């Protein structure tokens, strides 16, 4: 895998944390509007960094799996469950 820069890695990690926060916030605080934006921002940050990562190896199976993951990431639609 191509290494991400420090800024990209930071965005990747923060995006993942925001995804988790967007799921947990409505469970304990009931703030669904805030949770929606946390989840949306996290999904955009996380998925954009996944698209930027590249596999530079020669293994055909890993290349195929990477391509599938990349396509799913691009077409992922973040959906916030309504409680």
Express each pLDDT in 22-73 by its tens digit: 999 988 888 888 899 999 999 899 888 887 877 788 888 888 887 777 777 6
Residues contacting residue 45 through CB under 8 Å, at least 6 positions apart: 11, 12, 14, 15, 18
Structure tokens at 57: 């190896």
Residue (of 69, 65, 56, 47) closest to 2 by Cα position: 56
Residues contacting residue 64 through CB under 8 Å, at least 6 positions apart: none
Confidence of residue 76 (pLDDT cuts 50, 70, 90): low
Residues contacting residue 48 through CB under 8 Å, at least 6 positions apart: 11, 15
- Which regions of the chain does DSSP assign to beta strands (E)? none
Confidence of residue 80 (pLDDT cuts 50, 70, 90): very low
């Amino acid at each position: 895998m191509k290494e991400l820069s420090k800024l990209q890695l930071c965005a990747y990690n923060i995006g993942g944390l925001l995804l988790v926060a967007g799921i947990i916030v409505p469970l304990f605080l009931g703030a669904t509007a805030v949770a929606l934006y946390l989840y949306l921002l996290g999904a955009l940050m996380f998925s954009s960094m996944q698209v930027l990562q590249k596999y530079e190896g020669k293994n055909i199976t890993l290349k195929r799996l990477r391509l599938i993951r990349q396509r799913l990431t691009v077409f992922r639609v973040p959906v916030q469950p309504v409680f």
